[in-house]
Amino acid sequence: MNNADLNEKIATAHGIPKTDAKAIVDSVFAAITEAAQAGEEIALAGFGKFKVKDSPAREGRNPSNGETIQIAASKKLGFAPAKALKDALNG
């Protein structure tokens, strides 16, 4: 599923134009992005939690020549599914 598929599903389910559905989906993603940039945890009941994780700087190896390289510190967005989602996937 991609954004266009999601927009179409929402438009069909709620009887609204695809442009309105796209605006809603885009605003949801924008709100999640803003919260993540602020370092907040995003908890969506019945779906899961998005959490920003710090990945420290470290040394790595260049796979083509084996040289040691420095990998910069970064932030990653992790996702932990809610029990209801896990049960839906496995049940």
- Each residue's pLDDT, cut to its tens digit, for the chain (91 residues) gives 999 999 999 999 999 999 999 999 999 999 999 999 999 999 999 999 999 999 999 999 999 999 999 999 999 999 999 999 999 999 8
Residue with tokens 């929402």: 10
C-beta neighbour count of 7 within 10 angstroms: 20
Task: State whether the Cα torsion 21-1-4-32 is positive or negative.
Answer: positive
DSSP 8-class letter at 63? T
**Are 29 and 10 in contact, with CB atoms under 8 Å apart?**
no
Question: CA dihedral in degrees (13, 33, 27, 45; nearest 10)?
Answer: 40
- Global pTM reads 0.78
Q: Is 73 helix (H, G, I), strand (E, B) or coil?
A: coil
**Cα 30 from Cα 46, distance rounded (Å):** 20
**Cα 21 from Cα 75, distance rounded (Å):** 30
